[in-house]
């Protein structure tokens, strides 16, 4: 019995959640198509969605660039060291 009441309650609650006119949870669900507010929210969402990828790829790019530069610098330094040749470095 308790299970049935719980099931009915969850079902009812889910039905309420799926009705935007009741809870107004979605800020862009109530506006019509081609609405300026809807477009504004959508562009903002796209921008905010893409920013983390841009940030992480920028950091990764900088780390890769630093790695390459460090390797090149080390190679130059070891090549210019007196008495050390490529053969000895192996």
Binding site for other proteins (CB under 8 A): 36-37, 39-41, 43-45, 47-48, 51-52, 55-56, 58-59, 62-63, 66-67, 69-71, 73-75
Q: How far is the CB of 87 from other proteins (least distance, A)?
A: 15
Name the one residue in this structure whose structure tokens are 């040749």.
85
Distance CA(73)–CA(71), nearest Å, equals 5
Distance CA(24)–CA(30), nearest Å, equals 8
Name the one residue in this structure whose structure tokens are 């019995």.
1
Q: How far is the CB of 38 from other proteins (least distance, A)?
A: 9
Nearer to other proteins, 10 or 39 (CB): 39
Nearer to other proteins, 19 or 66 (CB): 66
24: left (phi over 0), alpha (psi -120 to 50) or beta: left
Nearer to other proteins, 19 or 58 (CB): 58
Nearer to other proteins, 6 or 71 (CB): 71
Distance CA(1)–CA(13), nearest Å, equals 18
């Amino acid at each position: 019995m308790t299970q049935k009441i719980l099931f009915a309650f969850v079902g009812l609650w889910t039905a309420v959640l799926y009705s935007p006119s009741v809870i107004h949870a979605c800020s862009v669900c109530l506006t019509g198509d081609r609405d300026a507010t809807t477009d504004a929210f959508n562009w903002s969402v796209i921008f905010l969605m893409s920013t983390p990828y841009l940030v992480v790829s920028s950091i990764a790019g900088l780390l890769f660039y630093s790695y390459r530069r460090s390797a090149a610098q080390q190679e130059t330094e070891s090549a210019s060291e007196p008495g050390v040749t490529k053969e000895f470095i192996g």
